[in-house]
Chains A and B, each alone.
Chain A
Amino acid sequence: MTDAPLIRVQNLHKKFGKLEVLRGVSFDVKRGEVMAIIGPSGSGKSTLLRCLNFLEQYESGEVLFDNALVGYRRDPGGKLRPDSERNIRQIRARMGMVFQSFNLFPHKTVLDNVVEGPVIVQRVARSEAEDRARRLIARVGLADKESSFPAQLSGGQQQRAAIARALAMQPTAMLFDEPTSALDPELVGEVLEVMKALAAEGMTMVVVTHEMGFARQVADRVMMMDRGEIVELAPPQVIFGAPTSPRTAEFLRRVLH
């Protein structure tokens, strides 16, 4: 194990048409670190997260995952060229992603959702993939729901199943895109518990969230974003205790009342 960061983002830029969503973002995520990304809506948090596994194509700058450039390769002249689909897929498979709207496959049972990635992408034998899936499903507390279809589950159960599905790929890092924002308030806790347990096991996590309690308790560092830029990146004690930026202070005042 080296001390090199697992994820390194350098001067990242992204536009949607004329709108600049990311305007030169740079940061590192260390192995085993939990980073929370907070900020007002439209600040580019989700886009940034989606650039990390190249679900969103960035125009300039770099994303490095485990020292490998994500989405591009350098030609001999040093210019960036689009990478092959295959390489992009391989890197993607090493980052689990959890979405705001769960995005479970509605035509498959919980078990089949969790088995899908390992069997289809990693070519793991079905029986082995099922063993792995059952352990993960039990771990997120859904052992009695493995034959249920997503529509038969509550939002919290669906999101926990989605976490199990991402973990089944045995990822090196996990990306969470507002994982509790679509949930009824009373279901938020059960999802956060699963995420806390994951963090405690040393999983590297990047979490876009509106749950300030989670960011404060679980994150090693909190990134405050606004208008496509990092406003502040510091340990939670600093962000929540004594933010150096007035924009952070203002944002927190609004969300914490």
Chain B
Amino acid sequence: MGYSWQWQIIWDYRKVFIRGAEVTAELTVWALLLGLVLGLLLGLMRSSRLKLLRLPAAIYIDAFRATPILVQLVWIYYALPILMGVQMGNITAACVGIGLHEAAYIAEIFRAGIASIHRGQSDAAKSLGMSYAQAMRRIILPQAVRRMVPPFINEFATLMKLTTLGSVLAVNELLHEAENLINNTYRPLEVYTALAVVFAVLIYPFILLSQRLEKKWTMHE
């Protein structure tokens, strides 16, 4: 079995990977922003005492976690225009789809983080006369966020890898570019391997950052 590896083509086509990485980064940033904002909102609703807030959040979270993201993306891009006349560009649709999906998971991270803070903390905040919003903002969330860093970095890595699903909407992110390249060069092993390396280079700095933050913050606990 003499497979001869040809790594030279990766270098020759390096611009394709750089272009793809840019699109992947763009998808990641926007999907992450949407996921964070919506996730925080859903997580707070899910932690609420009021059923009126808790129930819709629970339904949203369960629905998005129980169905495949691939179908969610196809729905947002192809079915929404038919049903509601909402037509988004493919990059926007991918960002929205991945963001909505990730919001469900990020909401659970927020909920668990908030729930992990000892009840005495909110008792103390309340006894000083703080409102719910003040206690959340000043006392509960700053502590919860520190504990959320490890699961959050996990979710971030997952999210970045999920952006490869943008390829089904013909978004020219890394996977899509890689597959085009394979069609041209017939070197799938080299191209996929390089693809993995590019992802690792994109994701690893955040893993490092997370470890740094964890170290720094556990000092005072």
Give A contacts to B, CB under 8 Å. 53, 55, 85, 89-90, 92-93, 95-97, 99, 101-107, 116-117, 120-122, 149, 151-152, 162, 165-166, 169
> In the complex, are the beta carbons of A99 and B124 less than 8 A apart?
yes
Task: Report the nearest B residue to A121, measured CB to CB.
Answer: B129
Query: In the assembled complex, which residues on chain A have CB atoms less than 8 Å from the CB atom of B134?
Result: 120-121
Other-chain residue from B131, B142, B146, B220 in contact with A149 (beta carbon distance below 8 A)? B220
**How far is it, in angstroms, between the C-alpha of A142 and the C-alpha of B51 when the chains are bound?**
45
Check B128 for interface membership: any CB of A closer than 8 A. yes
Counting CB contacts under 8 A, is B74 at the interface?
A: no
Give which listed residue, A97, A105, A152, contacts B127 with CB less than 8 A.
Answer: A97
Contact between chains at B139 and A53 (CB < 8 Å):
no
Q: B122-145: contact bitstring with A at CB < 8 Å (1 yes, 0 no)?
A: 011011111110100011001100
Please name the residue on chain B nearest to A122 by beta carbon: B129
Summarize B's interface: helix, strand, loop or mixed. Answer: helix
User: Any chain A CB within 8 A of the CB of B221?
Assistant: yes
The answer to whether B129 and A93 touch across the interface, beta carbons within 8 angstroms, is yes
CA distance A238 to B118 in the complex (A): 39
Q: Is B120 an interface residue (CB 8 A)?
A: yes
Extra pairs beyond A107-B142, A107-B220 (10, CB < 8 Å): A89-B129, A97-B123, A102-B120, A106-B220, A107-B143, A117-B128, A120-B130, A121-B129, A149-B220, A166-B127
Asked if B128 and A101 make an inter-chain contact with CB atoms under 8 angstroms apart, the answer reads: no
Decide yes or no: A103 and B121 within 8 Å by CB, A116-B138, A151-B220, A151-B221 being known contacts: yes
Partner of A103, one of B120, B129, B146: B120
Given the contacts A99-B120, A107-B146, A53 and B130 also touching, CB distance less than 8 Å: no
Q: Do A169 and B120 touch across chains, with their CB atoms under 8 A apart?
A: no
Give a binary string over B91-127; 1 marks a CB under 8 Å from any A CB, 0 the rest: 0000000000000000000000000001011011011
**A110–B142 Cα gap in the complex (Å)?**
16
A103 touches B123 (CB 8 A): yes
Q: Are A93 and B128 in contact (CB under 8 A)?
A: yes
A-B contact pairs, 14 of them (CB 8 A): A89-B131, A92-B128, A97-B124, A97-B127, A103-B118, A103-B124, A105-B124, A106-B221, A107-B143, A120-B138, A121-B129, A149-B220, A151-B220, A165-B124
The 9 closest A-B pairs by CB, nearest first: A93-B129, A103-B120, A97-B127, A117-B128, A103-B124, A149-B220, A121-B129, A89-B129, A92-B129
Specify the chain A residue showing the minimal Cβ separation from B142: A107
